[in-house]
Amino acid sequence: MREPLFNNVTIIGVGLIGASCALALKDRGLCGTVCGYGRKEANLKQAGELGIINEYSLEIKKACEHADLVILSTPVGLFKKIVHEMRDVLKENTLITDVGSIKGPLVNELEELMPEGVRYIGSHPIAGSDRSGIAHARADLFDGARCIVTPTARSEKSTVRQITTLWESCGGKVEIMDPMLHDQIYAAVSHLPHLIAYALVNTVDDSSAEYLKYAGPGFKDTTRIALSSPELWRDISLLNGKNLLALIERFEHNLNTIASLIRDADASGLEHEFSKARTLREKC
């Protein structure tokens, strides 16, 4: 039987990703016990009944006091508040990571909040679903998924190796990336598409709420991510606002280009724009 990487793990926010982390760790023998912390006791009780966690606490200090690994899996806007609340009870050499899709300056801010001897490195597993909650959690959610790890100049190499081993052991394909570059990339390929999906649904509703009932697979596929948590995407939009505003301007330019081509009845121009996008999409 393999020796666990961590004896005691605490999951802060037992939703889809947090619960899947717990299942992946337990399924692969990477941990001893898993303690869950969250705002809703009913959800934590259900997680215990499903075998996702071994125990839970509604007091964050109690949940974290014995942890060797803490995984932050709440909306990113809560990360700093959570660290402030738990930092006084963290053991020396505890490893803190997160699964948020914002890194950038936030990584350095969180690192500054860590008490002496406690290590933090940001993580972003590119896995999940538009459906939230523990009902959709899976031990294999991270199998084959890219996982971005964002150390800073202050991160120790041994800690980077440990967090890399953690995600690789859970099935992920780890890539080390600068935190600022991470936010630029994911503003383009993740954050902007979510904003567009929300705006598209609202645009149809502005025309007539009755139109939505006629939506077919194309509309539903395009706007699937608009089913995602508004709280989560509120925080992401604000924390990555600078990158997003620049991308929204580029998107408006491309949309205006298509509008001009339609206005001019430029069939070849439209076909060129659509063919270019199709070719690029085929490379994804």
Q: Are residues 212 and 169 in the same domain?
A: no
Residue 106 pLDDT: 96
Please check whether residue 201 lies inside any domain of the structure: yes
Q: Are residues 167 and 225 in the same domain?
A: no
Burial 157-171 (b: 16+ CB within 10 A, else e): eebbebbbebbebbb
245 token code pair: 């505003």
> Residue 251's domain spans which residues?
181-282
Number of domains in the chain: 2
Please check whether residue 47 lies inside any domain of the structure: yes
Q: Are residues 23 and 143 in the same domain?
A: yes
Residue 8 pLDDT: 97
40 token code pair: 């809703």
Q: Are residues 149 and 251 in the same domain?
A: no
If we measure between CA atoms, which residue out of 66, 53, 60 comes closest to residue 93? 66
Domain boundary among the residues 136, 154, 177 is at 177
Rounded Cα distance between 278 and 284, Å, is: 10
Q: Are residues 148 and 163 in the same domain?
A: yes
Residue 133 pLDDT: 82
Please check whether residue 155 lies inside any domain of the structure: yes
Rounded Cα distance between 131 and 45, Å, is: 20
Domain boundary among the residues 154, 177, 200 is at 177
Please check whether residue 1 lies inside any domain of the structure: no
Dihedral sign for Cα 8, 11, 14, 20, please: negative
Supply the DSSP symbol for 4. Answer: P
Q: Are residues 99 and 185 in the same domain?
A: no
- Say if strands 6-12 and 69-72 run parallel, antiparallel, or are unpaired: parallel
Residue 128 pLDDT: 74
Number of Cβ within a 10 Å radius of residue 139: 19
Q: Are residues 32 and 158 in the same domain?
A: yes
DSSP per-residue letters across 171-224: T-EEEE--HHHHHHHHIIIIIHHHHHHHHHHHHHHHH-GGGGGG--HHHHHHTG
Please check whether residue 246 lies inside any domain of the structure: yes
Domain boundary among the residues 177, 192, 207 is at 177
Element (H, E) at 47: helix 41-49
Please check whether residue 18 lies inside any domain of the structure: yes
Residue 3 pLDDT: 80
Nearest 10 degrees: Cα torsion 176, 146, 21, 107:
30
Q: Are residues 262 and 121 in the same domain?
A: no
Q: Are residues 166 and 218 in the same domain?
A: no
Q: Are residues 204 and 149 in the same domain?
A: no
Strand partners, 71: 11, 97
- Taking the chain (284 residues) in runs of 10, the rounded mean pLDDT of each run is 86 96 96 95 95 96 97 96 96 96 96 96 87 86 97 96 96 97 98 97 95 96 93 95 98 98 98 97 93
Q: Are residues 88 and 196 in the same domain?
A: no
Residue 131 pLDDT: 67
Q: Are residues 142 and 48 in the same domain?
A: yes
Residue 189, domain CATH: 1.10.3660.10
DSSP per-residue letters across 117-171: T-EE-EEEE----SS-SGGG--TTTTTT-EEEEE--TT--HHHHHHHHHHHHHTT
If we measure between CA atoms, which residue out of 158, 179, 148, 159 comes closest to residue 114? 159
